[in-house]
């Protein structure tokens, strides 16, 4: 991408979130800007938002930003982790209870829905909620009304609902584990946050951001620099723990590595190992490095074949089976592409 084009794109991205306070949210990728743009638009409304994305991608961070940028910002933001509270206690946590409602309920208590009045309630890990409670939640969201456990008085609240999950709710609906009607109520505005491996342009801006945070917290902290090889390893790593994992890595390195320059061997074992037999090309790397379509497809084929061969200990029949390919086709490709056991998987 030429500098002029990328500058133009960056300008357009900035414009799309004009007026939105993105404090604490680092990153430059198109995927992130799409999330921020939707967050900006939705912040002005009271519509329910469902944020999906793998663990550690920033779902809570985005939920907080929506609240902060909304007309409800002076009201409370109440967070409840539906997966962390046993289902028999969750109902009373959400809706409160009256005295004597159950054993141990010595006094009445208000729930999170009431606390969130005039503000936002963030229902985290919504996919873990029991079917029984899903029915009650549906009514509370639909009518903004509910009763405390053991109570008969109907309570009304004025709240905005944001929920989040790292589960595939559509699959859960098919399995009968999640109510379809509740899903549509929650998912008025969907926001999906991409995993870090699908927006690798964010890796270094995030690493810089976390280092700057450390600099603010620790007066004698010196900003570290990643060597070219270390950068390559970080770019290729799959980041299964997403941004949380990157944040932890930066902090770990800041404590354990005393030199300013970070070498590959300073990185956590899993990153070093992952980069030494990287198998999947990333779309962003293809664009960033100006690799053309044909070359990228060729490299990807090589990666798949090399991976299958390594996994099968170079037993071609087995590798062909893994690739769901004829053995003869595989042998032809090996010859044509000049793939040998000594060859490393291509590195993007």
How far apart are the C-alpha atoms of 63 and 165, rounded to whole Å?
12
113 binds, among Mg ion, ligand ATP, none (CB under 5 to 8 A by kind): none
| Residue 273: CB minimum distance to ligand ATP, A | 23
CA distance linking residue 76 with residue 67, whole number of Å: 9
40, 59, 160, 224: residue in contact with ligand ATP (rule CB under 6 A): 59
Q: Can you give the binding site for Mg ion, defined by CB under 5 A? A: 60
Quote the CA–CA distance of 21 and 65 in Å, as a whole number. Answer: 7
Report 225-284 residues binding ligand ATP (CB under 6 A). Answer: 243-244, 247
Query: Contacts with ligand ATP in 177-216 (CB under 6 A)?
Result: 206, 209
Binding mask 139-178 for ligand ATP (x = CB under 6 A): ---------------------------x------------
Minimum gap (Å) between residue 59 Cβ and Mg ion? 5
Report in angstroms how near the CB of residue 192 gets to ligand ATP at its nearest.
11
Sign, CA dihedral 93-99-101-104, equals positive
User: Please, what is the minimum distance in Å from the beta carbon of residue 257 to ligand ATP?
Assistant: 21
Scanning 52-60, 144-152, 219-227, 317-325 for contacts with ligand ATP by CB under 6 A, the matching segment is 52-60
Closest approach of Mg ion to the CB of residue 222, in Å: 32
Taking the least distance from each CB to ligand ATP, the nearer of 57 and 303 is 57
Q: Give the orientation angle of helix 242-256 with respect to helix 203-217, to 10 degrees.
A: 50
Is 58 near ligand ATP (CB under 6 A)? yes
**Which residue bears the tokens 């790397």?**
285
**Min separation Cβ 24 and ligand ATP, Å:** 6
Written as six digits, the tokens of 42 are 């939705």
Beta strands in 197-318 (DSSP E): 225-226, 261-262
Using CB under 6 A, which of 17, 20, 26, 339 touches ligand ATP?
26
Here the tokens at position 253 are: 């390195």
- Give the nearer residue to ligand ATP in terms of CB position, either 114 or 124: 124
Strands (E), 82-192: 120-124, 145-147, 154-156, 160-165, 189-192
Among 16, 45, 55, 288, binds ligand ATP (CB under 6 A): 55
Per-state percent for the chain, helix, strand, coil, to nearest 5: 50, 10, 40
27 contact choice in ligand ATP, Mg ion, none (CB below 5 to 8 Å, kind-dependent): ligand ATP
With contacts defined by CB under 6 A, how many residues of the chain interact with ligand ATP? Answer: 18
Residue 25 contact, options ligand ATP, Mg ion, none, Cβ 5-8 Å cut-off depending on partner type = ligand ATP
Residue-wise DSSP of 281-293: --HHHHHHTT--H
Shortest Cβ 330–ligand ATP spacing (Å): 40
Phi first, then psi: give them for residue 46, nearest 5 degrees.
-110, 10
Find the part of the chain contacting ligand ATP (CB under 6 A) among 18-26, 97-105, 173-181, 274-282.
Answer: 18-26
List the beta strands (DSSP E) in the chain: 49-52, 77-81, 120-124, 145-147, 154-156, 160-165, 189-192, 225-226, 261-262
Residues in the chain: 348
- How far is Cα 281 from Cα 278, in angstroms, rounded to an integer? 8
Q: Which residues bind ligand ATP (CB under 6 A)?
A: 24-27, 53, 55-61, 166, 206, 209, 243-244, 247
């Amino acid at each position: 991408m030429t500098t002029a084009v990328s500058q133009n794109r960056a300008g357009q991205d900035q414009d799309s979130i004009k007026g939105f306070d993105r404090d604490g949210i680092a990153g430059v990728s198109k995927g992130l800007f799409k999330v921020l743009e939707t967050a900006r638009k939705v912040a002005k409304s009271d519509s329910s938002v469902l944020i999906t994305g793998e663990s550690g991608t920033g779902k809570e961070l985005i939920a907080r930003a929506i609240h902060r940028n909304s007309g409800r910002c002076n009201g409370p933001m109440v967070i409840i982790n539906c997966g962390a509270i046993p289902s028999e206690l969750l109902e009373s946590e959400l809706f409160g209870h009256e005295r004597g409602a159950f054993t141990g309920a010595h006094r009445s208590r208000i729930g999170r829905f009431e606390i969130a009045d005039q503000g936002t309630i963030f229902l985290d890990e919504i996919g873990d909620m029991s079917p029984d409670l899903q029915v009650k939640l549906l009514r509370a969201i639909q009518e903004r009304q509910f009763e405390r456990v053991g109570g008969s008085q109907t309570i009304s609240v004025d709240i905005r609902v944001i929920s989040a999950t790292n589960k595939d709710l559509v699959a859960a609906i098919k399995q009968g584990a999640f109510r379809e009607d509740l899903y549509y109520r929650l998912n008025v505005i969907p926001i999906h946050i991409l995993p870090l491996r699908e927006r690798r342009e964010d890796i270094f801006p995030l690493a810089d951001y976390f280092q700057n945070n450390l600099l603010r917290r620790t007066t004698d902290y010196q900003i570290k620099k990643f060597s070219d090889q270390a950068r390559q390893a970080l770019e290729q790593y799959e980041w299964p723990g997403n941004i949380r994992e990157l944040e932890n890595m930066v902090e770990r390195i800041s404590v354990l590595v005393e030199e300013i320059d970070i070498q590959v061997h300073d990185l956590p074992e899993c990153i070093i190992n992952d980069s030494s037999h990287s198998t999947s090309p990333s779309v962003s790397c293809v664009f960033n490095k100006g690799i053309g379509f044909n070359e990228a497809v060729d490299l990807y084929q090589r990666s798949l074949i090399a991976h299958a061969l390594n996994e099968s200990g170079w037993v071609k029949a087995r590798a062909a089976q893994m690739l769901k390919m004829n053995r003869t086709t595989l042998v032809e490709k090996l010859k044509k592409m000049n793939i040998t056991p000594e060859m490393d998987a291509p590195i993007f």
